[in-house]
Homo-oligomer: A and B are copies of this chain.
Amino acid sequence: MSYWPASSSTTPRYAGPVSFFRLPTLSDPSEADIALIGLPYDGGTTNRAGTRHGPREMRAMSMFIRPFHHVTKTSPYSTHRVADFGDCPMNPLDIGESLDLITDHFATFKVAGTRPLTAGGDHLITLPILRALATDGPVGLIQFDAHSDTNDTYFGDHKYTHGTHVRRGIEEGLIDSKRCVQIGIRGTRYAPDGNDFAENAGVTTLYIEDVYRLGIPGVIAEIRRVVGDAPTYLTFDVDGIDPAYTPGTGTPEVGGYSVFEAQQMVRGLKGLNLIGADVVEVAPPFDPSGNTALVGATMMFEILCCLAV
């Protein structure tokens, strides 16, 4: 049993149903090995919103993605059942309820043994996903991002935002901070000790300067060293990439890596014990050329190829 994208030799890629990579849409988690899930929630955003429209545009732009990878010459669909499972329930008016709805939804995939690859939404969504997936103990975290997302609170004592979720994940025992690595961190910060929580917790921070100092193979080696062979989650914030490539994001941070470099890094993660992944922070209202959504969709495919081994 396998699922394949609708043939573009019959139906042009701009025609036909819109789903991730033109794959079938299913609803029963047990019918797939890897589930592609949209999570159009941006209630954790502290500045420019709009990532609620991310899944729809990433699906639309994923029409450009054909089944086989040009480096490996293999397709994830050859070995794994991959399908689109539509959008996860959430409530745009209620953060707490949304967190619960998301966790409940992903728990059904966890139970079915189906690994999720999610399109956000803002970065807060990683937290409720981990609550569903990391029920067997803290997991490793590979985070491509411009921001550490380990702030404590925003706007008073509000603890659940797209800038605090990694801290929450560590505090809640979902993320093993010693097996957490962040790649591409840069930009101005609120305080001189802005990264103290992460450093004290043992998180490995690869600033953008470190990325260029180590080189891509060095970064890959460092990531693999940090997370090892134990269960690991991968979260890819498109703002880790330079905003020349991904302007359509809520908190752009100039001076990031290129998409090609991001592809190289992700491809270097094959064989790791990945329990799931997400691509977040694509904000179509700020993406006039559509390139951010295209990058998001392509990175989903690159990650899918890592999951499908």
Contact = CB atoms under 8 A, between A and B. Distances in A.
A94 interface: yes
Contacts of A116: none
A112 to B, nearest CB: 21
B92 A12 contact: yes
Contacts of A40: 12, 14-15
Interface string A24-48: 0100000000000010101111111
B285 A190 contact: no
Contacts of A208: 260
Interface residues on A, range: 35 or more
B68 A188 contact: yes
A289 B155 contact: no
Interface in A204-228: 207-209, 212
Contacts of A104: none
Interface in A50-82: 50, 52-53, 55-56, 59-60, 63-71, 73-75
8 contacts: A11-B89, A48-B285, A68-B189, A74-B192, A75-B192, A244-B258, A252-B291, A288-B288
Given A49-B50, A49-B52, 8 more contacts: A9-B190, A10-B89, A15-B40, A50-B50, A68-B194, A70-B187, A188-B301, A289-B289
